[in-house]
Amino acid sequence: MSTQTATQTDPLHDALRQELLRLAQREDDAASREATRVHYWEPTPVTVIVHRQCAAALREAADELLPH
C-alpha cells in the first residue's frame, strides 16, 4: 500500500476542484450578463450580488481541495 506525499494529488479531488471552478465561472458569467442589463448609476441587482457570492464560495471550496 503506498502513501501519498504532499506533491501528489488525488485525481478525484482534481476533478472536483475543476468542476467547482467551472461552476464558479458560470456564476461570474451570469452576474456579468445580469449586470449589463442595468445602467451604471442604478443599484446593483441583488441577483448579481448573489451570483458573485456563490462564485466566491465555489472558489473557496475549490481551494480547500488543494494539497497542503
Q: How far apart are CA 33 and CA 36, in angstroms?
A: 5
Percentage, residues of the chain above pLDDT 90: 79
pLDDT at 1 over 50: no
- Each domain of the chain, given as residue ranges in start order, spans 11-64
Percentage, residues of the chain above pLDDT 70: 88
Q: Read off the pLDDT of residues 7-39 as tens digits, 9 standing for 90 and up.
A: 567 899 999 999 999 999 999 999 999 999 999
